[in-house]
Chain A
Amino acid sequence: MPSVMDRVVAVTSRVLQVDPGEIKPQHAFATDLGAESVQSVELVAMFEEEFGIEMDEDEALSVETVGDAAEYIAKVCRQQGVAC
Chain B
Amino acid sequence: MSNTLKCYPLVDTTEPNLLEETFDYSMPPLIRFDGPVVEYVDGRPVEFDPQTLKTRDIFITDTTFRDGQQARPPYTVDQMVRIYDLLGQLGGPNGVIRQTEFFLYTHNDRETLDRCRELGHRYPECTGWIRAVPGDFRLVKEAGLAESGMLTSCSDYHIFEKLKFKSRKQCMDSYCEVVDAAFEAGVRPRCHLEDITRADLPGFVFPFVERLMRMSEQVPEEKSVKVRMCDTMGFGLSFPGVELPRSIPKLIYSLNKEVGVPSSRLEWHGHNDFHKVHINGATAWLYGCDALNSTLFGYGERTGNPPLEGAVFEYIALKGDLCGIRTEVISELADYMRSIGLPIPDNYPFVGRAFNVTRAGIHAGGLRQDERIYNIFDTTTLLNRPPRVMLTDKTGSDGVALWVNEFFGLKGDERISKIKCHKVARWVMDQYEKEGRMTAISDEELEVKVRELMPEYYLKYKGNGDAG
Chain B residues whose C-beta falls within 8 Å of the C-beta of A60 in the assembled complex = 419
* Contact between B422 and A41, CB atoms less than 8 A apart: yes
Q: A48-B419, A57-B417 are in contact. List 5 more A-B contacts (CB 8 A).
A: A37-B361, A37-B397, A41-B419, A45-B419, A57-B419
A37 to B426, CA, bound (A): 10
Residues of B within 8 A of A37 (CB): 361, 396-397
Min distance, Cβ A51 to any Cβ of chain B, angstroms = 13
Taking CB atoms and an 8 Å cut-off, the chain A residues in 21-76 that contact chain B are: 37-38, 41-42, 44-45, 48, 55, 57, 60
Within 8 A of A (CB), among B349-384: 361
- B interface footprint on A4-33 (CB within 8 Å = 1, 0 otherwise): 000000000000000000000000000000
Determine whether the beta carbon of B419 is less than 8 Å from that of A44.
yes
Q: Is the CB of B419 within 8 A of A38?
A: no
Q: Which residues of A contact B122 (CB under 8 A)?
A: none
Q: Is the CB of A38 within 8 A of B420?
A: no
Q: Distance (Å) between the CB of A61 and the closest chain B CB?
A: 8
Interface size class of B (residues with CB under 8 A): 10 to 19
The distance in angstroms between the C-alpha atoms of A29 and B422, with both chains bound, is 17
Q: Which of B57-98 contact A (CB under 8 A)?
A: none
B429 in contact (CB, < 8 A):
yes
Any A CB within 8 A of the CB of B418: yes
> Quick one: which of B396, B417, B420, B429 has the most chain A CB within 10 A?
B417
Closest Cβ of chain B: how far from A23's Cβ, in Å? 20
Binding site for B on A (CB under 8 A): 37-38, 41-42, 44-45, 48, 55, 57, 60
B421 to chain A, nearest CB (A): 8
B397→A45 contact, CB < 8 A? no
Q: Which residues of A contact B429 (CB under 8 A)?
A: 38
Distance between B252 CB and nearest chain A CB, rounded to angstroms: 54
- Residue B425 lies at the interface, judged by CB distance under 8 Å to chain A: yes
0/1 interface trace, chain B 418-453, chain A, CB 8 Å (1 if under)? 111010011001000000000000000000000000
Residues of B within 8 A of A38 (CB): 396-397, 422, 425-426, 429
List the 4 closest pairs (A to B, CB-CB), nearest first.
A45-B422, A57-B417, A41-B397, A41-B422
Whole-angstrom CA separation of A55 from B420 in the bound complex: 11
Give B89 Cβ to nearest chain A Cβ, in Å. 44
The CA-CA distance from A60 to B420 in the complex, in Å, is 13
Inter-chain contacts of B397 with A (CB < 8 A): 37-38, 41
Whole-angstrom distance between the alpha carbons of A37 and B399 in the complex? 12
**CB-based nearest A residue for B421:** A41
- Whole-angstrom distance between the alpha carbons of A42 and B397 in the complex? 10
Bound Cα distance from A57 to B421, whole angstroms: 12
Q: How far is the CA of A52 from the CA of B340 in the complex (A)?
A: 55
Shortest distance in angstroms between A11's beta carbon and chain B's nearest beta carbon? 13
Pull 28 A–B residue pairs with CB atoms less than 8 Å apart, ordered by A: A37-B361, A37-B396, A37-B397, A38-B396, A38-B397, A38-B422, A38-B425, A38-B426, A38-B429, A41-B397, A41-B418, A41-B419, A41-B422, A41-B425, A42-B422, A42-B425, A42-B426, A44-B419, A44-B422, A45-B419, A45-B420, A45-B422, A48-B419, A55-B419, A57-B417, A57-B418, A57-B419, A60-B419
**Closest chain A CB from B433 CB (angstroms):** 10
Distance A74 CA – B420 CA, assembled complex (angstroms): 21
What's the Cα separation between A38 and B430 when bound, in Å?
A: 11
Q: Which residue of A lies closest to B361 (CB)?
A: A37
Distance in angstroms between the alpha carbons of A14 and B231 in the assembled complex: 67
Which of B361, B396, B422, B429 gathers most chain A CB within 10 Å?
B422
